[in-house]
Amino acid sequence: MSKPLNNGPFGMYRLARGVVNVIQRFSFQVEFIGRENVPMDGSILVCSNHQSNWDPVLLACAIPKQRPLRFFAKKELFSVPVLKHILKRAGQIPVSRGEGDRQALRVVLQKLKEDEVISIFPEGTRSKDGTLGKAQAGVGFFAMRSDAHILPIAIIGKYKFRAKLRVVIGKPIDLSELKARKASAQEAADLIMDTISELYLKHSFTK
């Protein structure tokens, strides 16, 4: 069973989510599609394309508040006064960019065992022009090493004031066949990114 949202480690997350929800409603016109596909029990690996620093805001607003998200944040941010306390109290995960971070890997796998929700961007970095890139093997590693629901999400549109955006939540991806034949992490990552791409194309504003 998923952990209840209370005033513990996710108290700050709940407060921050409420604030950014108001901000995004004022800043953009966001249509959320497929919220019924979010599992309310068990661990979830939220996998989305990445084009802006606004993406985590929309993801937090898309997922029900009963399923608080943990995001990766640059380790350096946990040394910034005030911000470090907010990040820690919001339950975010410090990670060293550009190098293997074994501690972060262990934390993520442990949190997934505890039925929590982890958000990850398969591409590993922001897209400069909005096009979807190739998935890195890391997302496949977590997907294959855990029993988490793999939830694909496509964020569609440009972040301009009052612009229309879509956040499309697909049905959880079934990796049972890949796990049965012990497929590689990259193969799992490619399947996840292909699913996100399908959602993106299906719900694109320019179909």
CATH number of the domain residue 155 falls in: 3.40.1130.10
Kindly state whether residue 17 falls inside one of the protein's structural domains.
Answer: yes
Sheet bearing 29-33, strands edge to edge? 29-33, 164-169, 149-156, 44-48, 117-120, 69-70
Range of the domain at 62: 11-202
Examine residue 197 and state whether it is found in any structural domain, yes or no: yes
Residue 3 lies in a domain: no
Supply the pLDDT for residue 53: 86
| Tokens encoding 125 | 């970095």
CA distances from 27 to 15, 86, 127, 130, 142 (A): 19, 23, 21, 19, 33
Residue 182 lies in a domain: yes
Flag whether 6 is in a domain.
Answer: no
- The pLDDT tens digits of the residues spanning 61-93 come to 999 999 999 888 777 777 777 777 777 777 778
pTM of the model: 0.89
Structural domain contains residue 5: no
Q: Are the C-beta atoms of 171 and 24 separated by less than 8 Å?
A: no
Asked if residue 53 is part of any domain, the answer here is yes
In a domain, residue 2? The reply is no
Task: Supply the pLDDT for residue 110.
Answer: 93
Give pLDDT, residue 94: 77
* pLDDT tens, N- to C-terminus, the chain (207 residues): 455 444 455 677 888 888 889 999 999 999 999 999 999 999 999 999 999 989 989 999 999 999 999 888 777 777 777 777 777 777 778 777 655 578 888 889 999 999 999 999 999 888 988 899 999 999 999 999 999 999 999 999 999 999 999 999 999 999 999 999 999 999 999 999 999 999 999 999 875
Determine the pLDDT at residue 12: 72
Q: What is the pLDDT of residue 72?
A: 81
Domain count, the chain: 1
* Beta pairing partners, 149: 44
